[in-house]
Structure 1
Amino acid sequence: MKKLKIGNLIPKIPLVQGGMAVGISLDNLASSVANEGGIGVIGTAGIGLVKNDDNSLKSNIEALKYYIQKTKEKTKGIFGVNIMVALNNYEKYVQTAIEEGAKIIFSGAGLPLSLPELNKEKKAKLVPIVSSVKAAQVILKRWMKKYNYIPDAYVVESSEAGGHLGFKKDKLNDSKNSTLNLAKELVGFRDELYAEKQIYIPIIAAGGINNKKIAKQLFDQGVDGIQVGSAFIPTEECDADIKFKNKFIEATTDDIGILNSPVGLPGRAIKTKFFDLIKSGKAKPKTCNYQCIKTCNFKNVEFCIAQALYNSVRGDVDNGVVFSGKKGPDTNSIKSVKQIIKNIMDF
């Protein structure tokens, strides 16, 4: 297995923990993955709700600083921060994360076309999350032309991932958008780029990776690393409530469906009572208390994503949204981060 090299950062294990927001991956999960030799990731969206029950910019920035510092206290390993392009005040979150010492900024839910502008001193590595070769090419062209900056890696996230998906609804079941196929395409792009210009950008595959079989297939195809999200939720170290974790243990693949997220993308989630309310049009918000997402107009969306995610992570899963990968975590019990990594990477 090749080493994952993100600039001068080389984790012992070529595995990135997906950055799951609104309190799923905070200091405890991120530091635990980093301590096992992978790359831990703090999820940024709604982070102020978790610490202060307040989603204002001031609260979120204060909470982001707090959880980065707590993670630094718990690990000397590598960790980063996931920041959605769709967030209001995106630039402020990125700058804060870099100033506080996050080593990597993972950024998706939109194209992070201006991200290098926020990292002029190159303190952090910049890793866009993409869903196609075209998106990777657009980002590379813009970054090289405007900033003379090459992405430090790409996460290629397939239609099998949990949470927000960079595909139209009718394309989610297209085999062209599977993890294996998209990873193969991005690896081809990486190799062609290197052959033509001697530029090597590591490829990290993401989406529905929950066992060693799929992990091995991806590494055999030439990826530099993998990103794992849902599999880390039913763990002792995950920062979410036990009721949230148990939802992943109880759910089958038949219990996982698609909803329309206020972010403007399809979202994959475990079906709950609230999921059914969303699908029936009975979860529409009457006001907006958060102003967290650029693309969200509460008059037009089907539910308030901040409140729905916050409810579920606190344990009120009947009144919340539970994002999950297509295959779920492939476990029937709460395990440790160490066990999950072994189950996926020991091949």
Structure 2
Amino acid sequence: MNIKPLKIGNLIAKVPIIQGGMGVGVSLSNLAGNVAKNGAIGVISAAHAGYMEEDFESNTLKANLRGLAKHIKRAKEISSNGIIGVNVMVAMNNYVEHVKAAIEAGADLIISGAGLPLNLPEIIEGSSIKIAPIVSSSKAAKVILNYWKKHFNKTANAVIVEGPLAGGHLGFKANNLNDEIKNFDNNVISIIKEVKNFENEFNTTIPVVVAGGVFTHDDMIKYLNLGASGVQVATRFVATHECDAHINFKNAYVNCTKEDIELTISPVGMPGRAIRNKLTETLKKERIKITKCYNCLIPCNPANTPYCISSALINSVKGDVENGLVFCGGNAHRINKIVSVKELIDELMGKI
């Protein structure tokens, strides 16, 4: 099959792969920059992008906005001005500030999920940045794109469909996950159909990119044959030399079994997929006392939340994979070694 470049507006990625944004600190400038250098789209997660800044504990927002800008610029340097996106969750506090910081620092694309990014076109007004909502159903795609049409006379530059095998927070209820997995391909087809309506209305091309469980070249070809323009891959990029996470975090993926991957509770009420460890086992029995609130997610209330997700994610990305939360995709157990970004992209493209 002749694999075509991924075109998002005037952005052209010769490799139709978006590297998924992974917070906290798992996909920063080193991973995103090297992905973009190899022809795909590198994505930085805006979730606590400044967690290594000196003033992170005392002035979290300021540190995060500075850290985000720093990583966007560094990724641009690493990739010789390749395509760099930023994943900004709607559920984040200070969502608007993070989107604006990404624009000012020179990002090319905003990817936004974990809620409906209804006002995103208004926030980016006057800039040339591209926008791509993450959806898990044709209903969500229709709601977002109709809202953008009605209120801003704008549409998406791309739409990302995230499936139930994705890592981290899932846009599905835990009790119907198996049905969602079975029906995912049909779901992709119905979203592509829905998006076509808006392509016709705006006389433009809106590529649909499939995410969640994409692991092999064959997976990618399957979705391209269904009518998608590209795929988003996150989990596999963790097990690369260039990934920004600690080696212990990468090895947790390499060493885990299928039985180690489970759904865990999240402070924001959504199921999250992670690798079983001391933290997830403790959470089955008791709450973990919160000593500091990072004011990160809107739905989180420290008074009744079972644990601090920021602390848990920071612990793991720094290497404490027993007392931290190790988010992963449903196929993490299939990873058995750490490779370079170039090797991984070549493999996904069917070159090796």
TM-score, normalised to structure 2's length? Answer: 0.94
Structure 2 gap segments, 5+ residues each: none
1:263-302 equivalent positions in 2, closer than 5 A: 263-283=268-288, 285-302=289-306
Q: Which amino acid aligns with 2:26?
A: I
For 1:46 and 1:119, the matched residues in 2 are separated by: 21
Q: Is the partner of 1:174 in helix, strand or coil?
A: helix
Distance 1:81 1:268 in 2: 22
Which residue matches 2:37? 35
In structure 1, stretches of 5+ residues that fail to align are none
| Residue in structure 2 matching 1:141, options 143, 146, 161 | 146
> Which is worse superposed, 240-249 or 139-148?
139-148
Question: After the TM superposition, which of the residue ranges 273-282 and 117-126 deviates more from structure 2?
Answer: 273-282
Matches for 1:1-347 after TM superposition, within 5 Å: 1-52=3-54, 54=56, 56-75=60-79, 76-175=81-180, 179-194=184-199, 198-283=203-288, 285-328=289-332, 330-346=334-350
Deviation per residue, 1:263-291 (Å, 9 max, x gap): 331111111111111222243x3344311
Q: Which moved more, 1:254-263 or 1:30-39?
A: 254-263
What percentage of aligned pairs have identical amino acids? 46
Amino acid in the other structure paired with 2:335: T
Amino acid in the other structure paired with 2:63:
S
Distance 1:197 1:119 in 2: 19
**What letter corresponds to residue 265 of structure 1 in structure 2?**
M
Give the deviation of 1:249 after TM superposition.
Answer: 0.3
In structure 2, what residue type is equivalent to 1:315?
G
**Aligned length in residues:** 346
TM-superposed CA distance for 1:181, in Å, is: 3.1
Counterparts in 2 of 1:69 and 1:113: CA distance versus 1, 3 Å: same
Equivalent position amino acid for 1:318 in 2: E
Contact 2:255 2:333 (C-alpha < 8 Å) held by counterparts: no
Say what the alpha-carbon RMSD is for the aligned residues: 1.7
- Counterparts of 1:47 and 1:11 in 2: how far apart (Å)? 24
The separation in 2 between residues aligned to 1:192 and 1:177, in whole angstroms, is 26
Q: Is the 8 A contact 1:232 1:329 kept in 2?
A: no
Q: Secondary structure at the match of 2:263?
A: strand
Question: Residue 209 of structure 1: SS of its match in structure 2?
Answer: coil
Post-superposition offset of 1:180: 2.5
Distance in 2 between residues matched to 1:223 and 1:300, nearest whole Å: 41
| Contact 1:48/1:63, CA 8 A, preserved across alignment | yes
Contact map agreement 1:19 1:81 (CA 8 A) in 2: yes
Report the Cα distance in structure 2 between the residues aligned to 1:244 and 1:83, rounded to whole angstroms. Answer: 22
Task: Tell me how far 1:243 sits from its aligned partner.
Answer: 0.4
Greater alpha carbon shift after TM alignment, 116-125 vs 101-110: 116-125
CA deviation map 1:201-248 (0-9, x unaligned): 210000011111211111111101100000000110000000000000
The one-character-per-residue Cα deviations of 1:308-333 (angstroms, maximum 9, x if unpaired) are 00000000001001111111163211
Instruction: Please state whether the residue corresponding to 1:261 is helix, strand or coil.
Output: coil
The letter for the 2-side match of 1:161 is A
The letter of the residue matching 1:32 is N
Amino acid at match of 2:216: N
The answer as to whether partners of 1:25 and 1:42 remain within 8 angstroms in 2 is yes
State whether residues 155 and 202 of structure 2, in contact with CA within 8 Å, keep that contact through their aligned partners in structure 1. Answer: no
Structure 1 pair 270/53, CA: closer, same or farther in 2 (3 Å)?
Answer: farther
Structure 1 residue 3, shift from structure 2 partner: 3.0
Shift of 1:190: 2.8
Q: Partners in 2 of 1:200 and 1:12 — Cα distance?
A: 17
The answer on whether the counterparts of 1:107 and 1:128 sit within 8 Å (CA) in structure 2 is yes
What is the letter of the counterpart of residue 250 of structure 1?
N
Name the amino acid aligned to 2:78. Answer: K
Alignment check: 8 A CA contact 2:34 2:75 kept: no
* AA partner of residue 21 (structure 1): G
Q: Could you say what secondary structure the match of 1:201 adopts?
A: coil
Aligned-partner Cα distance in 2 for 1:340–1:178: 28
